[in-house]
Amino acid sequence: MKLGLHTYSLNMHGIGQAWAGFTSPWPRQLSTFQLFDLMVDLDLEGVHLDDGVLERLDPTYLQEAGSAARDAGLYLEYNFSMDRGGFGIGVQNDLAGAITTARHLGADIVKVGMDIRRPRPFAASRFHPEVMAELKMVAGLLTEAAPLASDCGIRLAVENHCDSFSEEIIWLLDRVDSPVVGACIDTVNGLHVTEDPMAAIERLAPRAFTNHFRDDRIEFQRWGFKLVGAAVGEGDIDMRRAYEHIRDHSPMDRINIETELETPLDDMHAALDMEIDAIRRSVRFCREELGIRRSDRS
């Protein structure tokens, strides 16, 4: 099993897509090529990246970036959002464009975010008619894109983002029925739609090509609770059970750490240090506690 990083973990460094309207209060702190050097320093073997990492999208630059990653012994996966639900996640294009970007990079997986706008109440919206109309549309787009992905040696992985139940992802995959279209498991996201995250992990694992290996902490407050980002192994998800299920019941051979912390917005150096420290603790947990050993870089 290889160990990599979802670059959203470095969003305070300016590496990672904008999310929920957030704008960094300071300039980008890492170039794409510095990022690859940092991955090696952090004892990581791959990068799950998006357009927030890439400084340009022209083929020449993408090929140079891909070559630099391979020289560093890093696998690449490309994180893409359709941005159909009005969430405003980055500057994205259509599936064909995402596949082309991944091909130039040498990435072998494209993570697809559907960004479906769900009706409320969320807890009662599984297979809601409005959601089904969205899923049918996405299924059509994936079916159309699958031959191009196959020709490029790329697999498409649909994420259980904050917009979908795992059963809906399974329904979608069954409808598309393509060997190059599978799932991306986010180990926390089930909570966003009131689904047991472990049930989502177990349901999606056999159909998943990649993952966001994430661990949040639940903090109870006077008016309810909130999810607070944590290093892997320090939150309220059973990450050992999650890893063992992925290891034993899925075709995946990579774990992509994802962390997202509450960091100060008035102290850049403190925020950057917090991100790096959380990644280091996550790597240590995965290596020492879960036994994810470094693969042969040769």
Q: What are the pLDDT digits (tens) for 130-149?
A: 999 999 999 999 999 999 99
CA pair distance 114, 141, nearest whole angstrom: 11
Maximal C-alpha separation, the chain = 54
Contact yes or no for 101/133 (Cβ under 8 A): no
Domain ranges of the chain: 2-289
Task: Tally the C-alpha atoms within 13 A of residue 291's C-alpha that lie toward its C-beta.
Answer: 5
pLDDT confidence of residue 86: 54
Report angle CA 145, 147, 148 to the nearest 5 degrees. 70
pTM of the model: 0.95
pLDDT confidence of residue 51: 87
Q: Coil, strand, or helix at residue 99? A: helix
pLDDT confidence of residue 298: 34
Contact yes or no for 236/196 (Cβ under 8 A): no
The one-character DSSP state at 187 is: T
Of 3.20.20.150, 3.90.45.10, 1.10.3720.10, 1.10.10.10, which CATH number belongs to 2-289? Answer: 3.20.20.150
Report angle CA 162, 268, 275 to the nearest 5 degrees. 50
CA pair distance 150, 18, nearest whole angstrom: 29
pLDDT-based confidence at residue 106 (cuts at 50, 70, 90) = very high
pLDDT confidence of residue 297: 40
pLDDT-based confidence at residue 92 (cuts at 50, 70, 90) = low
pLDDT-based confidence at residue 54 (cuts at 50, 70, 90) = very high
pLDDT confidence of residue 87: 52
- Six-digit token pair at 162? 């904050």
Contact yes or no for 239/232 (Cβ under 8 A): yes
pLDDT-based confidence at residue 228 (cuts at 50, 70, 90) = very high
CA dihedral 263, 265, 270, 276 (to 10 degrees): 50
CA pair distance 107, 189, nearest whole angstrom: 24
pLDDT confidence of residue 22: 81
CA dihedral 248, 143, 134, 16 (to 10 degrees): 60
pLDDT confidence of residue 162: 87
For the segment 61-70, the average pLDDT, to the nearest whole number, is 98
Indicate whether 183 pLDDT > 90. yes
The residues, ordered by sequence, that sit 6+ positions from 36 with a Cβ below 8 Å of its Cβ are 47, 68, 69, 72, 74
pLDDT-based confidence at residue 23 (cuts at 50, 70, 90) = confident
CA-nearest of 231, 238, 234 to 257 is 231
pLDDT confidence of residue 117: 86
